[in-house]
Amino acid sequence: MPERVIITGTGIISSIGMNYEENLNSLRKGITGIGKNSHLETIYSDEIPVAEVKSGNRELRALAKVPQKSLFSRTSLLALIAAGEAVERSGIRNEDGLRTGLISASTVGGMDRTEIFFKKFRTEKSQGRIREVISHDVGDHTEAIASAFGIREFVTTISTACSSSANSILLGARLIENGILDRVIAGGSDALTLFTLNGFNSLMILDKRGCMPFDDDRNGLTLGEGAAYLVLESETAVTKTGKKGLCVLTGYGNACDAFHQTASSPEGDGAYMSMDKALGKAGMHPDRIDYINAHGTGTKNNDLSEGKAVERLFKDSLPPLSSTKSYTGHTLGAAGAIEAVFSVMAIEHGCIWPGIRFISKMKELSFEPVTSLTTGTEVRNVMSNSFGFGGNNTSLIFSKC
């Protein structure tokens, strides 16, 4: 039989907290990270809200324990901080002899450094330091993590738009189940850049009030930034090291419907297939899911498409559902991992996170997101959805040990 995949550590940095405890506290108190931009220099600072990590690069370099004169991208700094927390909370020791891999995800990579170079270069062709563009590659942040923690056995980067870091976790689980690795650090990181802000603004899908997932008056998403990582280990490795698992990754599913470059299929076919595959992998009936952390971007298309898919699959057994993007914004390549950490938190602490910024129920759907915090309840199984451009859809199921 394939090895069970145990989650033994998590690390996170987002607009609602610099670490695990701060993120947990913000979720419990219903604190959103959506607000006015203060670090990214853009003409839209007063017009388009974002969900920004509340520290500049100087402070991030200190937290990441790298020299202040280093040219790490903001994506790499966020990644080093979150991965470092996951490694520390998992209690990983390099001398334990376990085959360890790293799978990280991003969409913009080191574009923030490239934009610094380009701004100077466009003014005067002899200006700009070419070293600024060295970190442009999407996998540069992955190499930074691997170097920092001495990971050499398996290192790769995934970039499948908004499902990227969910797919990192999925691939990590498959490598463990098939006996290729004993342990995988999986997740993703993305920083806000002019490229993403201007790009999404050109698609006319940014809500200037801040995103309102599953609200009838929703009008688009809010871009965010952050990073999160989970330590996945085989059950054999957990037994060997005597660790206590946080939860088990029991199910996962990926489906590529390729309906449109930037839109979900109207009936949510890809979303339905990924959720159904995850349930099949876990051997679960839909009524065993206690909470769905929805993709829930707040766009007209996504929320209707995902909502229809959820109704179609769960029918009369629809569990509480919410989108934590109302806290963190849409962190693109990091979204799947950030929301996976929130799903693990829900199991660890017996909480169901409410959707915030919600006012009115969507007319086309029979349900609305939960809007009140539930505490002190047994959360056994959580489904986390991450649906990307091009119809790359991934669903993960985390279960109580």
Average pLDDT of the chain to the nearest whole number: 94
Spatial distance between the Cα atoms of 398 and 38, rounded to a whole number of angstroms:
35
Residue 215 sits at φ, ψ, to 5 deg, of -95, 145
SS (H, E, C) 195-233: HHHHHHHHCCCECCCCCCCCECCCCCECEECEEEEEEEE
pLDDT in tens, 165-208: 999 999 999 999 999 999 999 999 999 999 999 999 999 999 99
Helix (H, G, I), strand (E, B) or coil at 62: helix
CB neighbours of 171 closer than 8 A, spacing ≥ 6? 103, 156, 158, 186
* Beta strands 183-190 and 226-234, pairing class: antiparallel
Spatial distance between the Cα atoms of 191 and 225, rounded to a whole number of angstroms:
5
Residue 149 sits at φ, ψ, to 5 deg, of -115, 10
Known catalytic membership, residue 330: yes
> How many residues belong to the chain?
401
Spatial distance between the Cα atoms of 221 and 207, rounded to a whole number of angstroms:
6
pLDDT of residue 361 exceeding 80, the answer is yes
Q: What is the number of other CB atoms lying within 10 angstroms of the CB of residue 26?
A: 18
Which residue among the candidates 141, 211, 295, 351 is catalytic per the annotation?
295
Which residue among the candidates 39, 141, 211, 330 is catalytic per the annotation?
330
Question: Mean pLDDT throughout 106-116?
Answer: 92
Q: What pLDDT shows up at residue 262? A: 59
Cβ distance 328 to 14 under 8 Å? Answer: yes
Known catalytic membership, residue 136: no
pLDDT in tens, 277-305: 999 999 999 999 999 999 999 999 999 99
* Beta strands 154-158 and 100-105, pairing class: parallel
pLDDT in tens, 35-87: 999 999 899 999 999 999 999 999 999 999 999 999 999 999 999 999 999 99
Helix (H, G, I), strand (E, B) or coil at 103: strand
Spatial distance between the Cα atoms of 276 and 280, rounded to a whole number of angstroms:
6
Which residue among the candidates 39, 162, 247, 351 is catalytic per the annotation?
162
Q: What pLDDT shows up at residue 127? A: 73
Residue type, 78: L
pLDDT of residue 125 exceeding 90, the answer is no
Helix (H, G, I), strand (E, B) or coil at 205: coil
Question: Mean pLDDT throughout 321-331?
Answer: 98
Domains along the chain with CATH numbers: 5-241 (3.40.47.10), 248-399 (3.40.47.10)
